[in-house]
Amino acid sequence: MSLFTKYLKGWTFRSTTPSFDVGDEIAVFIAEANGDGNGHAYVGDTKLIVEGAGFDTVEKRVRVRITEFDEATATGRGEFLEVVGESSYTR
Amino acid sequence: MSGIDDTPSTGDPTDSFVQGDDDTEPRITFYGGRGTSALPIVFFIVWAIFQTALLRIQSESGLIVGILIGLIVGMFFVRGDWASYANTIFEGMTQPVAVTAIVAWIWAGMFAELLQDGGFVGGLIWLADIAGIGATLFPAVTFVLAALFTTGIGTGYGAAVAFVILFFPAGILLGANPVLMFGAILSGAIFGDNLAPVSDTTIVSAVTQDSDIGGVVASRFKYVIIAAVVAFGGYLVAGSAMTGLDIGVDAQAILDQESQVIGLVHLVSMGVVIGTAVAGRHIVEAISWGIVTAIVANLVLELTTVGEIISFNAPPDAPFAGPLDALPFLTVVEDADAVGVSGSLIAGASGFFELAILVLFIIAAAQIMIRGGAFDAILEWSIENLATNVRNAELTMVGSAALINGVITINTAAEVAIGPYISKIGERFNLNGYRRANILDGQTAALGYIFPWSGGVLAGYTAMRDLPEAYDWLEADMLVTPIDVVPFVFQGWLLVAVFVIAAITGFGREYVTDRESEEVARI
């Protein structure tokens, strides 16, 4: 990204519920996990259930492949691929 | 990420931003429950308010004692072995989040001092002088020049002092309103403190949110410039509505005396740092290029001497003092108290030494709070009651950063303390590092220069109180009291307003899926 475009990036009003397409691969922080071994990620107010992202991925950034997405309810499901990053602060 | 992992760190420097185990249970237990682990930092905040707001003592060494006593008091509430508490202090102090910021501050301090000693303010006075600006325009132009100056040197406190000493009297002489002049100076300081890549608060905001400083600067430009355009208009309108004092002294003569066109060469030094920073170069590299440019400019244009940049002041009985006396950076001094090393580089670096120690201890206290569970308790309560969706989360981030910066005088210290909280709330909603850093630093910069107990206001006011001694025509009753200036720090109020509106409307919001920030070691 050029120096100029860095300054122009983000001059937009971003939705609280971003949407994704099936097949997209995204990296997101897992907010919490439930007992069935799935993780929950919130991208804004969009909720993703990440299958296979258990407790050990909470507050870690993971790569996810989107498998289902419903724009009307801003919810979707994805498949956990790998851990790609950490939180700035790990509690 | 495991902070007690013995494996050597390799690759991405962000990997070393490790903080402890992945344990879900706190590692230190306290009498009174996990909330007691907040005692050291709460003690420090109370001490900071008492010292800086109630007693108006702006001393970083006093704050160091406050946090040290807080850490000692906290230890008496630990259940079981106190060694884990002591070890956590070391764990906190050795985190790269602290060291990275300290290194950047020291580099930035040397650069800023070179610009100040190289007559950068004199160059800006020349600009104001040559434009033939009158009383109505002077506050608005002062705002722009103070903003430019602070964006170059990074320290808003330093800019507030320099502009109060040089621009404030000139403005009064020209018939500008004194309160508006002080407000314009503080507004300029906020602009630069927020935007400069060499600003201490910019550095802390980026490092605590795991983002590159150059990317942070470029991404926050939109918020800063919107507030600045409105603030500029505000100073134009207020400048024509608010009258000044009739002094009856030759204003032009004083402006001419301080004017030094050649000082504008440091716009190049400033451009080098900003350009290399936003281009994504390493922190040390970008500021080093600025330092080299400033030194060359100062020496070639004879703005300073070698001895003013670095000088070894040796006693006459030193074995090599005589033979090496001809060196331009060696001065033989008779007075024992004058022995030492002096100059712009030392003055610039040493200006951050106390702040560096203070920040190490604040981060240690924050680590105690994290390990003891109080941080989790506050976070869980916030997520349940405040940050219930992304809009509320951003408003919570704005509010909490504004609150802590509103009560703690030294805004860098407040920013370090609230950094982990902002990070956790933002990461939960996958807000990217730039957005988090910008929300954090917007409030830090703004609230550091508005209230009577704010560090920037105190720095400027302290310099102002000495002005009647320097100018015969300037009476004490012409000075501005800190409370009077509060409504006129337009950039500060507008910057907070911009972020509240941005949180509500989604302006500038970016998720980690939109853009990932680059590695934190780059600026």
Question: Å from B288 to nearest chain A CA?
Answer: 20
Q: What is residue B16's predicted lDDT score, i.e. its pLDDT?
A: 31
Q: Report residue A13: phi and psi, to 5°.
A: -100, 110
B453 within 8 A of B56, measured Cβ to Cβ: yes
Q: How far is A39 from chain B (nearest CA, A)?
A: 12
Say which of A7, A86, A88 has its CB closest to residue B209.
Answer: A88
Asked whether B26 and B371 are in contact (CB, 8 A), the reply is yes
Q: What is the CA radius of gyration of chain A?
A: 14
Rounded Cα–Cα distance for residues B388 and A22 (Å):
27
Q: What residues pair up with B431 in beta bridges, in sequence order?
A: B511
For each successive 10 residues of chain B (523 residues), what is the average pLDDT? 32 33 63 93 86 75 93 95 92 76 78 86 82 86 91 83 81 89 97 92 91 92 97 97 79 76 91 79 82 96 94 91 87 91 90 82 86 85 91 96 78 84 95 96 94 81 82 83 91 98 97 80 43
Rg (CA), chain B: 24
Q: Count contacts between A and B (CB, < 8 Å).
A: 119
The chain A residue lying nearest B501, using CA atoms, is A13
The dihedrals phi and psi of A53, each to the nearest 5 degrees, come to: -95, 95
Q: Minimal Cα–Cα distance from A60 to chain B, Å?
A: 8
Q: Are B211 and B266 in contact (CB under 8 A)?
A: no
Distance set, CA A50 to CA A59, A61, B8, B465 (Å)? 13, 12, 31, 62
Q: Which of A6, A16, A26 sits opposite B278 (nearest CB)?
A: A6
Kindly state the tokens that stand for B256: 């001419």
Residue A29 has pLDDT above 90, yes or no: yes
Q: For residue B449, how many C-alpha atoms fall within 13 Å in the half-sphere facing its CB?
A: 38
Across the interface, do A90 and B22 touch by the CB < 8 Å criterion? yes
* Rounded CA separation B340/B313 (Å): 5
pLDDT at B209: 92
Name the closest residue on chain A to residue B420, using Cα atoms. A89
| Minimal CA separation from A35 to chain B, in Å | 15
Angle between helices B120-130 and B251-258 (to 10 degrees): 140
Q: How near does any CA of chain A get to the CA of B416, in Å?
A: 13
Residue in A8, A11, A89 to test binding to B, most B beta-carbons within 10 Å: A89
CB < 8 Å to A62, chain B: none
Q: Which residues of chain B have a CB within 8 Å of the CB of A59?
A: 424, 427
- In whole angstroms, give the CA distance from residue B227 to residue B495: 5
Give φ, ψ of B209 to 5 degrees.
-105, 15
Q: Which of B17, B214, B221 sits opposite A88 (nearest CB)?
A: B17
Task: For residue A47, give the chain B residue with the closest CA.
Answer: B429
* Domains, in order of start, for chain A: 16-86 (2.40.50.140)
Q: What was the pLDDT predicted at B474? A: 82
Task: Tell me the residue length of chain A.
Answer: 91
What lies within 8 Å, CB to CB, of B468 at 6+ separation is B474, B475, B476, B479
Distance CA B270, CA B2 (A): 39
DSSP H helices in B373-410: 374-385, 390-407
User: In this predicted complex, what is the ipTM?
Assistant: 0.96
Cβ within 8 Å, pair A13-B218: no
Q: How far is CA B18 from the centre of its chain?
A: 25
Q: Cβ–Cβ of B370/A3 closer than 8 Å?
A: no
Minimum-distance CB partner of B208 among A10, A12, A88 = A88
A88·B428 Cβ contact <8 A: no
Of B208, B376, B433, the CB nearest to A91: B376
Number of H helices, E strands in chain B: 24, 3
Alpha carbon separation from A18 to A74, A81, B214 (Å, rounded): 8, 21, 26
The 3-class SS string of B185-253 reads HHHHHHHHHHHCCCCHHHHHHHHHCCCCHHHHHHHHHHHHHHHHHHHHHHHHHHHHHCCCCCCCCCHHH
Neighbours of B195 (CB within 10 A): 25
How far does the CA of residue A72 sit from the closest CA of chain B (Å)? 17
With an 8 Å Cβ cutoff, are B427 and A7 in contact?
no
Closest Cα in chain B, distance from residue A52 (Å): 19
- Spatial distance between the Cα atoms of B77 and B85, rounded to a whole number of angstroms: 10
- Considering only CB atoms, which chain B residues are within 8 Å of A56? 22
Give one DSSP letter per residue of B65-87, joined into a string.
HHHHHHHHHHHTTB-S-THHHHH
> Which of A14, A45, A88 has the CB atom closest to B210's CB atom?
A88
B448's CB contacts (< 8 A; 6+ apart) are: B156, B190, B193, B201, B405, B410, B411, B414, B454, B455, B456
Q: Which residue has the tokens 């409105």?
A: B230
Q: Counting every residue, how long is chain B? A: 523
**Closest residue, chain A, to B275 (C-alpha):** A3
Question: Using the beta-carbon criterion (under 8 Å), do B278 and A3 form an inter-chain contact?
Answer: yes
B15 to chain A, any CB pair closer than 8 A? The answer is yes
Beta pairing, strands B330-332 & A32-33: unpaired
Which residue's structure tokens are 């070691």?
Answer: B521
Q: Are residues B508 and A26, on separate chains, in Cβ contact within 8 Å? A: no
